[in-house]
Structure 1
Amino acid sequence: MITQIRGVLKSVAEESLILGVEPFFDLEVLIPEYARRQLQAKLDEPVVLHTVFDIEGNQMSGRMKPRLIGFLSPVDREFFEVFCSVDGVGVRKALRAMVRPVRELARMIQDSDLRTLATFPGIGEATAERIVAKLRRKVSKFALMVGPGADDRSAVGASEANGEPSNAEPDVIRDAYHALLSVGHSEAQARHLLDQALSGKKKYKTVDAMLMAIYQNETPGK
């Protein structure tokens, strides 16, 4: 499995780029629309892409084509894989539809913003409804992403929040904590958000339920 590649950006096309990888390789990599806009100003510069290896086609036709798909961060790659789990949203459609940062896309899904989602390339009203129905409770983590430079991401090896509140199992709290760290919150921010969610009487049986509550508290007007 190829999970990351480094190279010099040689060209950027509508749906892909060419990356020069030493010593001999020029690789074509499919990219989402948002990444394309970010990368087109970086020609001849070294870049790092977090990748998914995929096979296009089917065995019945005998025409199988390997393809590498690249993203600007591991979280973008993870969101893409979740996005592709929706019926009718394949690799190409997902890449074209990812026209905004992942955090914004996740918040649209959380907020059931069908009108905006339906305007994205290849989506339409019916697909937007399927996306919201399947993913609304699965994208809380992405909706809580912190933008670049918004916090200190240097802390590593964080310990779990102190105590074991009775309204959530310790493993749920631990996994929610690490999910918050993975999308850019500092250790202090993650603990604060968890403390807020756990301060009431609501019980959380799953990480998704806890992240949903945190997202709703973080969203203006909620």
Structure 2
Amino acid sequence: MIGRLHGILLEKQAPDVLLDVQGVGYELQMPLTSFYELPELNQTATIYTHFVVREDAQLLYGFITKQERSLFRLLIKANGVGPKLALTILSGMTAQEFVNCVERDDIATLVKLPGVGKKTAERLLVEMRDKLKSLLETASGNEREFMLKSNYTPSNLNSAEEDAMAALLALGYKPAQASKAVSSAAEEGMDSETLIKAALKSML
């Protein structure tokens, strides 16, 4: 299993990343919580990974911290939640917002995420409550801070609206839904990160 990669960041187009590790290019998908913690292109990055093998594909998911990877792994163990939906959940809301949803039994917010129906949301709330409590109790100081607070480092990408559209589509939103959200959230001078977060917030 591939557990961690350390190399040169060659490409990043949310949520996709290409990392050069001693001449081998690894393609990863990352939740936006981790994506916006990445350094600039051509800089070194350390990414914790989760490797998924399917009959038709081998997929690599990346995370800035072990704790976020642990949360991802807990999510994909829940009934009705696969890696793609777990990635969408961790991109559509911060770690703190997800924890808050579980603590408040907030089904209404969860079902607004693409792919999360009422039954899936109900299962998540039941199955994740004890798991999240255990995860937070065993977290280190830095990891606990990440779980309970989400502050991203802005990343300036070209064509912010195009980047935002691509990110929303990759997360499972329908084209019309993504376009409406991006258009309504876009303001002059916005960078990609700010626009994506504003667009996602407008749909919650």
Aligning the two structures, in what range does the TM-score lie when normalised by the shorter sequence?
0.5 to 0.7
Distance 1:34 1:185, change over 3 A: closer
Task: Judge conservation of contact 1:110–1:139 (CA < 8 Å) in 2.
Answer: no
Distance 1:36 1:122, change over 3 A: farther
C-alpha distance in 1 between matches for 2:133 and 2:75: 13
Partner of 2:31: 32
1:92 equivalenced with 2:84 (yes/no):
yes
C-alpha distance in 2 between matches for 1:109 and 1:184: 19
Task: Judge conservation of contact 1:33–1:97 (CA < 8 Å) in 2.
Answer: no
Task: Judge conservation of contact 1:32–1:98 (CA < 8 Å) in 2.
Answer: yes
Percent same amino acid at aligned positions?
25
Partner of 1:114: 107
Q: Which amino acid aligns with 1:111?
A: R
From 91, 105, 126, the equivalent of 1:133 is 126
Q: Which amino acid aligns with 1:90?
A: G
Partner of 2:63: 71
Task: Judge conservation of contact 1:110–1:137 (CA < 8 Å) in 2.
Answer: no
Task: Judge conservation of contact 1:84–1:91 (CA < 8 Å) in 2.
Answer: yes
Q: Which amino acid aligns with 2:74?
A: V
Distance 1:131 1:185, change over 3 A: closer
C-alpha distance in 2 between matches for 1:118 and 1:19: 33
* CA shift digits 1:71-110 (9 cap, x unpaired): 1100001100101111111011111121233233123212
Partner of 1:43: 41
Which moved further from structure 2: 127-136 or 94-103? 94-103
C-alpha distance in 2 between matches for 1:180 and 1:38: 19
Structure label with greater radius of gyration? 1
Higher relative contact order (CA 8 A, sep 6+): 2
- Summarize the alignment of residues 65-214 of structure 1 with structure 2, pairs less than 5 Å apart: 65-99=57-91, 100-142=93-135, 144=136, 176=137, 179-181=138-140, 184=143
C-alpha distance in 2 between matches for 1:109 and 1:136: 6
Q: How many residues align?
A: 144
C-alpha distance in 1 between matches for 2:142 and 2:113: 24
- Structure 2 portions without partners, runs of 5+: 146-204
C-alpha distance in 2 between matches for 1:115 and 1:130: 13
3-state SS, counterpart of residue 37 of structure 2: helix
Partner of 2:17: 17
TM-score scaled by length of structure 1:
0.58
Task: Judge conservation of contact 2:76–2:83 (CA < 8 Å) in 1.
Answer: yes
- Structure 1 portions without partners, runs of 5+: 58-62, 145-175, 187-222
- Compare the two structures and name the one with the higher helix fraction: 2
Q: Cα offset for 1:182?
A: 6.0
3-state SS, counterpart of residue 79 of structure 2: coil
Q: Cα offset for 1:17?
A: 0.7
